[in-house]
């Protein structure tokens, strides 16, 4: 099953009997989500999911299958979730909620608009290109997004962002990602309450962000390049 539910009330959905039909539908129309079985006529769901990754703007993939043993392979092809039949309504809702957390990130090809965060507040919706992001820091239920000129609040997932853009962002702490090209120095500091620690200095902002012991080697390696 293939679906596309945008901001409007209307929701376009279709059903394909095999991988060939699914590819044909996706070539003709833009869809946000594809729900796949593992065993299908012709190419398997895993093979189709791998093909979808090569699209300029690939849809998200959720597997819905009776075959629980293929879960690891499903996530190797970037599946959002893996549901086993019979599917409980709660479990389906969890999968769709996970998909909605990916929604603020626009995955686009090099020829299209660059990837961005779409940030909503009470007054407006703003598109922030990932190229402009200096760092992201998780605080309570939200993520602070720092650019050279703004501090914004994003309702998203650092983990999902890191998985998709590991070449762009480096995790320096369990609650922080920084733009790799913005890292300028790794400095030792002493805090009266926390003792000795390490922090990064980033180009264009005064903020100093702490580096966890676990991530120290990765940051040190990047700075030394």
Question: Which CATH number is 202's domain given?
Answer: 2.40.50.1020
Do both 92 and 129 map to the same domain?
no
Are 202 and 152 found together in one domain? yes
pTM: 0.53
Instruction: Examine the domain organization and report whether 93 and 160 are in the same domain.
Output: no
The more confidently predicted of residues 41 and 145 is 145
Rounded mean pLDDT of the chain? 82
Least confident among 48-57, 101-110, 215-224: 101-110
- The arithmetic mean of pLDDT across residues 163-184, rounded, is 93
Residue 10 has pLDDT above 60, yes or no: no
Asked whether residue 113 is domain-assigned, the answer is no
Determine, yes or no, domain membership for 86. yes
Name residue, tokens 């019979």: 86
Q: Which of 40, 72, 103 is the endpoint of a domain? A: 103
User: What is residue 182's predicted lDDT score, i.e. its pLDDT?
Assistant: 95
Structural domain count, the chain: 2
- Is residue 30 predicted with pLDDT exceeding 80? no
Q: Are residues 82 and 147 in the same domain?
A: no
φ, ψ (nearest 5 deg) of residue 181: -75, -10
Q: Which of 51, 77, 103 is the last residue of a domain?
A: 103
Domain of residue 8 covers 2-103
Q: Are 144 and 82 in the same domain? A: no
- Chain segment 74-114, per-residue pLDDT in tens: 767 778 888 888 888 888 888 887 776 655 444 444 444 56
Q: Name the token pair of 218.
A: 């990765």
pLDDT of residue 102: 58
The answer to whether 80 and 94 have CB atoms below 8 angstroms apart is no
């Amino acid at each position: 099953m293939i679906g596309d539910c945008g901001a409007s009330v209307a929701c376009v959905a279709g059903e394909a009997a095999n991988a060939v039909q699914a590819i044909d539908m996706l070539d003709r129309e833009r869809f946000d989500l594809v729900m796949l079985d593992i065993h299908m006529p012709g190419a398997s769901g895993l093979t189709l999911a791998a093909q979808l990754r090569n699209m300029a703007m690939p849809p998200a993939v959720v597997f819905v299958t009776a075959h629980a043993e293929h879960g690891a392979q499903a996530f190797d092809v970037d599946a959002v979730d893996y549901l086993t039949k019979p599917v409980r309504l709660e479990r389906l809702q969890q999968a769709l909620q996970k998909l909605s957390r990916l929604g603020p990130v626009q995955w686009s090809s090099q020829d299209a608009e660059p990837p961005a965060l779409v940030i909503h507040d009470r007054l407006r919706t703003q598109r922030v290109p990932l190229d402009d992001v200096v760092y992201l820091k998780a605080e309570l239920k939200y993520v602070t997004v720092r650019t050279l000129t703004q501090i914004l609040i994003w309702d998203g997932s650092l983990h999902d962002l890191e998985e998709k853009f590991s070449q762009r962002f480096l995790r320096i702490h369990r609650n922080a990602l920084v733009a790799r090209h913005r890292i300028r120095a790794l400095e030792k500091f002493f805090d009266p309450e926390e003792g000795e620690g390490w922090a990064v200095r980033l180009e264009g902002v005064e903020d100093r962000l702490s580096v966890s012991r676990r991530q120290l080697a990765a940051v040190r390696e990047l700075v030394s390049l």
